[in-house]
Chain A
């Protein structure tokens, strides 16, 4: 049995310790907002926060997340930054297929939580690990700036 803290709630899961956090979230807790894209931390679709830091949940064994605060897209609007990012994403209609966007938003929220006024270069560095095959990158960049403005 593995005990986790997910979105502020304590949960107990019957999974093998080597199970990636991604599959524990999706298949066991049915928190399906976090997506599977590559399984090798190459695409960022599975990004969640571990104590506020963005991590690729597809490559993190669930045992390594014990005792940490896990936040997923489903609870990201509980914070001021998360809400601002979501609203900016909606105002600019960033999404297309939407499959990568949970991960994009989690990376953007982590960036803005640490840096309220990111430059284009800061955005490049923070978002380079999140692939979007629809290439919504122009709007992702614009939405991060927009959210930063709203938070200022």
Chain B
């Protein structure tokens, strides 16, 4: 066993410093500073709960640091501090470490880390462990390279001692340590016990990228086998002895509370064990899910709606449009906008509306909690370890380290499982508390609970105007946004909300890359809207990319310029934007004719956007029928996310991001009198296989540090499609979801 924890601390600190600096240079969004309300990070334990670091002393294992364990059975286990929701983190993080370790990819397995922010914090978030903002690869890059390199050095030292040869004579390749001069060889497993006695190196020499054998190559996903034979374990699949399943009657309006309830009929349902009131509603506990659901359906609950939020989406939008008539707080000011507009030869104006959107992951929210004498244990697709750990500790009167979290696969999340209020996790905790902890509880949200449970992508209204001067140049750009803040009231508020401006409300708008002499971006943040909102895959860029890139096309048309040519002209100072733009345009055959069959209109559109430090351009090709209905035939993408750790996973994430974004062209959560009108996939229709276009993903070769790819594939899709529809029909759409009747011939 490792007796010198120095390497871990060293690599964490150095990695943090490097990562932060690089991140600041990248200028991306949701990544700086996570503020813990109660307990300082220093007080967290050095060894936390979970599988890693527990009960391993019995086996002859080699654990040079918190991220690596080599077993006598020759297994290499990489401990992932980030959760796997589909984005490929387990595979990507293991690739980084295995590269520097020179492991054989086949011997590598991945295990979710326990909740322990001291060892497993997100280096971009300060003292908090969690996954989000497409930060997993970026913040782990240096850290895991050093972790793998340290392990390799200790294996080499062990072999040198054993064989009485110089370390410089030893080579490591594909999981085998060898001494070519003598022909001696040993596997990692054979050397594990000896390597555990090696001193932890003070410094680790990292590979020259030209020697990479896994990074940039084809490392297969580590979760493919388990996810294709039904054995992968999600929270929904956890069963504990004596466990009860809870289904909850939630209030019909945000802010409503239980007034009274009659549990008589519910308790008469076979299998129902108990009915308890909790702050979030009334929970029915049963021996199985179906009985709990039947019990909940049999409940009669009377709700106190006196403090409930009662506006509908139409009223909210009308208010936002009124607000947009007055200036908001200035988020960005460059040059003299008043002068640019006063002297304009032509002014272009447009306004855009974006609805509330549900994350609608395929696995509805759920959480398993067991209370014991010395703490509580959680089973969860855990995205915000530290926040949830603190929330449960507070609820149960425990220390955070007494809250043990077992990390499971998440059946999607798209941000929803990282809840700033720990909503569903606390709900599970409240139920356990209400029954005095006498049984472990699996809280199951049915699809309707999930879809009506709030924490949506916020509804937004944008108003833009552009000034074109006497010389036909784009001289001024004003962008006003109206929408709820995601970060106010969250642990990120102190770091990312400045002077009342939530950085993620205006990300993608305030950092408009185009060289325009005068730029004004201002923001209204209504605080009296009682609909809970949350980060949704690509966060602010999920709406700002649309308004900026669709409007840019309209401006280009008003100037009589080609949309690609004008972008190139104004992106001279932003080579990475320009690089993906030109690559996507070239691969898509921008400027070449797009043949249309009779009765159909076809068009091509482009958009480019940076989010989370990654640059993506997309060209969409569409076919529009007479009635305005359309299909997206093809999307050509170019992406620059720095060093491509796993190119196939980058392609996979961009393919999926495209489908996710296309889905949003038809999605919306609407409120009527405060009530959410959708409940299932009939009212909130996700993209289906027949509507998925052909996709091409081209990756820009780069030696820059890696940035994320889970989210950046999403933002440019919708504006590229809108621009393609405008090219095909001459009609522009200003509201999402699209009303295709507006495109009728």
Q: In whole angstroms, how far apart are the Cα atoms of A123 and B114 in the complex?
A: 41
A-B contact count (CB 8 A): 181
In the complex the two chains form, is B409's CB within 8 Å of A98's CB? yes
Q: In whole angstroms, how far apart are the Cα atoms of A36 and B410 in the complex?
A: 13
In the complex the two chains form, is A135's CB within 8 Å of B663's CB? yes
Name B86's contact: one of A26, A98, A123, A124 (CB within 8 Å): A98
B429 CB–A CB distance under 8 Å: no
A129: chain B residues within 8 A (beta carbon): 688
Interface residues contributed by chain A, number (CB under 8 Å): 59
Question: Nearest chain B CB to A4's CB is how many angstroms away?
Answer: 15
B459 CB–A CB distance under 8 Å: no
Name A97's contact: one of B231, B239, B360, B409 (CB within 8 Å): B409
A40: chain B residues within 8 A (beta carbon): 447, 680-682
In the complex the two chains form, is B362's CB within 8 Å of A97's CB? yes
In the complex the two chains form, is B659's CB within 8 Å of A135's CB? yes
Name B239's contact: one of A23, A30, A77 (CB within 8 Å): A30
Q: Report whether over half of chain A's contact residues are helix, strand or loop; otherwise say mixed.
A: loop
B184 CB–A CB distance under 8 Å: no
Taking each of A27, A45, A93, A97, which has the highest tally of chain B beta carbons within 10 Å of its own beta carbon? A97
Q: Which residue of A lies closest to B85 (CB)?
A: A97
Question: Nearest chain B CB to A75's CB is how many angstroms away?
Answer: 9
Question: Nearest chain A CB to B699's CB is how many angstroms away?
Answer: 16
Name A99's contact: one of B270, B362, B655 (CB within 8 Å): B362
B230 CB–A CB distance under 8 Å: yes
A139: chain B residues within 8 A (beta carbon): 652, 655
In the complex the two chains form, is A101's CB within 8 Å of B228's CB? yes
Name B689's contact: one of A23, A134, A137 (CB within 8 Å): A137
B-contacting residues, A114-152, CB 8 Å: 123-125, 127-141
Name B656's contact: one of A32, A33, A105, A136 (CB within 8 Å): A136
Q: In whole angstroms, how far apart are the Cα atoms of A100 and B411 in the complex?
A: 8
A54 CB–B CB distance under 8 Å: no
A86: chain B residues within 8 A (beta carbon): 228-229
Taking each of B85, B86, B658, which has the highest tally of chain A beta carbons within 10 Å of its own beta carbon? B86
Q: Report, as a range, how many residues of chain B touch the other chain.
A: 35 or more
In the complex the two chains form, is A27's CB within 8 Å of B655's CB? no
In the complex the two chains form, is A133's CB within 8 Å of B652's CB? no
Given A33-B230, A38-B447, A43-B362, also A97-B290 (CB < 8 A): no
B446: chain A residues within 8 A (beta carbon): 39
| Chain B 673-715 interface 0/1 with A at a Cβ cutoff of 8 Å (1 = within) | 0000000111000111110101100000000000000000000
A-contacting residues, B420-460, CB 8 Å: 446-447
In the complex the two chains form, is A27's CB within 8 Å of B687's CB? no
Q: In whole angstroms, how far apart are the Cα atoms of A31 and B231 in the complex?
A: 9
Question: Which of B7-15, B22-30, B219-227 contacts its partner?
Answer: B219-227
B660: chain A residues within 8 A (beta carbon): 133-135
In the complex the two chains form, is B289's CB within 8 Å of A90's CB? no
In the complex the two chains form, is B689's CB within 8 Å of A127's CB? yes
Q: In whole angstroms, how far apart are the Cα atoms of A50 and B243 in the complex?
A: 30
Q: Which residue of B lies closest to A96 (CB)?
A: B86
In the complex the two chains form, is B230's CB within 8 Å of A134's CB? no
B229: chain A residues within 8 A (beta carbon): 33, 73-74, 76-77, 86
Given A90-B228, A134-B660, also A97-B689 (CB < 8 A): no
In the complex the two chains form, is B363's CB within 8 Å of A99's CB? yes
Given A97-B409, A133-B660, also A39-B230 (CB < 8 A): no
B692: chain A residues within 8 A (beta carbon): 135, 137-138, 141
A90: chain B residues within 8 A (beta carbon): 220, 224-225, 228
Q: In whole angstroms, how far apart are the Cα atoms of A34 and B221 in the complex?
A: 22
B364 CB–A CB distance under 8 Å: yes
In the complex the two chains form, is B362's CB within 8 Å of A45's CB? yes
B412 CB–A CB distance under 8 Å: yes
B409: chain A residues within 8 A (beta carbon): 97-98
Q: In whole angstroms, how far apart are the Cα atoms of A134 and B221 in the complex?
A: 15
Q: In whole angstroms, how far apart are the Cα atoms of A35 and B82 in the complex?
A: 24
Q: In whole angstroms, how far apart are the Cα atoms of A136 and B361 in the complex?
A: 13
In the complex the two chains form, is B447's CB within 8 Å of A39's CB? yes
Question: Nearest chain B CB to A35's CB is how many angstroms away?
Answer: 7
B125: chain A residues within 8 A (beta carbon): none
Task: List 6 extra interface pairs beyond A95-B86, A133-B660, CB under 8 A.
Answer: A35-B236, A39-B680, A95-B224, A96-B652, A98-B86, A132-B362
State the B residues within 8 Å of A (CB).
84-88, 220-221, 223-234, 236-237, 239, 245, 270, 288-290, 360-364, 409-414, 446-447, 648-649, 652-653, 655-660, 662-663, 680-682, 686-690, 692, 694-695
State the A residues within 8 Å of B (CB).
15-16, 19-20, 23, 26-28, 30-40, 42-43, 45, 72-74, 76-77, 86, 89-90, 93-102, 105, 123-125, 127-141
Q: List 16 A-B contacts (CB under 8 A).
A: A86-B228, A93-B220, A93-B221, A93-B224, A94-B228, A96-B87, A97-B84, A99-B411, A100-B411, A127-B690, A131-B362, A133-B360, A135-B663, A136-B659, A139-B652, A140-B689
